Chain A
Amino acid sequence: MAELLYRSEVTGIGELVPSFVAEGILVFFGESAPEELHEFCIMHKVEHQAGILDVGDVIQIDEHHLEVLAIGSVANENLMNLGHMNIKADGNLVADMPGDVCVAIGELPPVAVGSKIQIIRK
């Protein structure tokens, strides 16, 4: 049975988010993030959080599914403490940067205010 590790809802989209999307990056931050970060990130409100993100888990953004291929050494710490996650559509099997959560190369799903984010272990 699938296990729900994380669930949140998008509450804001910063003005500069499209420039990150253009480079294949989605940057999430929890609502406690300092104001100066808001324009760069997708703000979301964490509703459920259990366990540690791992390779093979699936990040679901509304009806779109992204399989996690690699995780940087501080990505989990970021997610747990700050609601912060950098999803990179770089196809890497080893994360370039310590904060990265790597998924397959391809177009990232659209994210809007009200989008539901879930992380699921199959």
Chain B
Amino acid sequence: MGEYKAVRIEKGYGGWGGPLVVLPTDERPLIYCVTGGGIHPLAQHIADLTGGEVFDGFKSSAPFDKIAVAVIDCGGTARIGVYPMKKCLTVDIHATSPAGPLAMFITEELFVSGVKPANVIPID
């Protein structure tokens, strides 16, 4: 059994959406990182603060229902909508806004962008 802590994730400069509250659980433990070049420091930071398990989506795949939050470095077209469409909380490192064919799935309740480590705030 893991011990998990909640964080609030706010949009960064030029960003959109949120704030999101992320609290991993034993059923949904994964901080699911879908970024280029391995685990992104922001995903690691969220894992460190929440006790969640960081996971590299480009190395292997995990079911959506195991994901506490997806961390993406989407430039605004595809990944931005895929995880919200599956009702996964989604954090984009880049300051994007809803766009593309999946824009309808991207809501403030599910998505936040432009996020830097300072935008991840522990909740006591």
Which A residues are within 8 Å of any B CB, using their own CB? 16, 19-20, 22-23, 25, 27, 29, 32-37, 40-41, 72, 74-75, 77-78, 80-82, 84, 86, 88, 96-100
Contacts and interface: CB of A to CB of B under 8 A. Distances in A.
A19 B82 CA distance: 13
A27 B94 contact: no
A88 B76 CA distance: 11
Interface stretch (B3-11, B19-27, B46-54, B56-64): B56-64
A75 B75 contact: yes
A100 B75 contact: yes
B37 interface: yes
B34 interface: yes
B77 interface: yes
B55 to A, nearest CB: 10
Kindly name the residue among B37, B76, B102 whose own CB sees the greatest number of chain A CB atoms within 10 A: B76
Contacts of A23: 100-101
A37 B36 contact: no
A100 B101 contact: no
Nearest to B73: A74
Interface range on chain B (Cβ under 8 Å from partner): 20 to 34
B interface: dominant SS:
loop
Contacts, number: 78
Contact of A86 (B78, B83, B86): B78
Interface of B: 34, 36-37, 57-58, 61, 64, 73-79, 82-83, 86, 94-96, 99-102
Given A19-B101, A82-B36, A27 B75 contact: no
B94 A74 contact: yes
A74 B83 CA distance: 20
Nearest to B37: A81
6 contacts: A32-B58, A84-B36, A88-B77, A97-B96, A99-B75, A100-B75
Given A32-B58, A33-B58, A34-B61, A97 B99 contact: yes
A33 B79 CA distance: 11
B76 A99 contact: yes
Contacts of A36: 61, 64, 82-83, 86
B75 A41 contact: no
A98 B79 contact: no
